[in-house]
Amino acid sequence: MESNTGIQGDELSPLANLDEWETDVLRRYPDPAKINEDKKEEEFRNYQATEKDGVREFYRLNHHYQTYDFVLEHKAKYLSFDKKEMPIWDAFAFLNQLVDDSDPDTDLDQMQHLLQTSEAIRNDGHPDWMVLVGLIHDMGKVLCLFGEPQWAVVGDTFPVGCAFSDKIVYPEFFKDNPDYNDPRYNTELGVYTRNCGLANVHMSWGHDEYVYHMMKDYIPEEGLYMLRYHSFYSQHREQAYNHLMSEHDHKMFEWVKLFNPYDLYSKNPNQKSWEELKPYYEALVAKYLPPTLKF
C-alpha cells in the first residue's frame, strides 16, 4: 500500500497556500459572465499556459499517492472523528491558523472566504441550509492541522478504484500511481458496476469527503451533495464519470452546479464585518448543528 512515507518538507506543501489551488481552478473554469465570446472554450482550459510550478508539483503528488488503498486507510483514520471535539466557532478559529501571511494576493482569512460564499447564497434567497453549506464547505481543511499534506486535503477530486479519466487536470501524472497498472483498478468500471451510484464509489481523499461525513446527520441531502462533490470538476464540468452515476446522482448534481459559482466567483471586497453578521450565523448554526462537533 502506498503512503506518504519518505515525503518530507516542501514536498508536503508545494502550494504557497491552500487558496492557490482554487486560484488555479479559476484559471481552468473562469466566471462565465466574464468570458470573452470571441474566445473558444478550450482556450480557457489551457492551464498549461498559466501553470505555476507549485500547482504542477501539487498535482504530481496528488495523482501519485491518491490510491484506492490510501483512501480506505484515511477513511478508517479520520471518519472515527476522535481527534478533537469543539464548538464550530472554535473550529473556524482553528481553521484560520492556515492563513499564510506571505500570500501577496489576499489578506482574507479562511472564515472571511466562507462568509463571502454564504452571504452570496443568502443574498440570492436560497434556503438557509444552503447558506450553512456555504459557511462550512471548506471546514474540512482542518485536516492540514492534523498533519495531512496539502495534496490529501485540497485539489480536484475523482473516483479511485477505477480508471482515471483524462478529463482530470494533469492526467499524465496518473502514470506514476500504482493503481494505474493494477488490473483490479484500471478498467472503466474497476471495482464498481455500471451506474452503481456515487454513494457506492470511493472518491479521492480530501476536505470534501471529510466534511460530508461530519455533516451527513445534520443537513438535507442536496446540501450533502454540495459538500461531497464541489471539487469533482471532472464530472460536474466534464461529465467524465456518467458511467458510475445513477439517475438520482444526476438529479442531485443540479444542486452541486448551483452551489459552485458561489464558491468560485463570490469574492466580495466589501464583505460585512463578522460583528454585523454574527447574530444571524449563530442562530443558523444552532438551528442545524449540535453545540460541539467531533473532528
How high is the pLDDT of residue 1?
40
**pLDDT over 70 (residue 125):** yes
Crossing angle of helices 274-288/110-123, nearest 10°? 80
How high is the pLDDT of residue 19?
80
**pLDDT over 60 (residue 182):** yes
Q: What average pLDDT does the chain have?
A: 87
**pLDDT over 90 (residue 290):** yes
- Where are the alpha helices (H) located in the chain, listed in sequence order? 19-28, 41-44, 53-65, 68-78, 88-95, 110-123, 128-136, 207-215, 221-229, 233-236, 247-265, 274-288
Read off the pLDDT of residues 28-76 as tens digits, 9 standing for 90 and up.
888 766 544 444 444 444 445 445 688 999 999 999 999 999 999 999 9
Q: For the chain, what is the radius of gyration of the CA atoms?
A: 19
**pLDDT over 80 (residue 97):** no
- Round to whole Å and give the CA distance between 167 and 234: 6
How high is the pLDDT of residue 274?
85
Give the three cell numbers for residue 86.
Answer: 469543539
Output the pTM of the full model: 0.87
CA atoms within 13 A on the CB side of 162: 21
Listed by start position, the domains of the chain span 9-294
Read off the pLDDT of residues 235-254 as tens digits, 9 standing for 90 and up.
999 999 999 999 999 999 99
How high is the pLDDT of residue 31?
72
How high is the pLDDT of residue 52?
66
How high is the pLDDT of residue 95?
81
Residue type, 227: L
CB distance 230 to 259 below 8 Å: yes
Read off the pLDDT of residues 63-76 as tens digits, 9 standing for 90 and up.
999 999 999 999 99
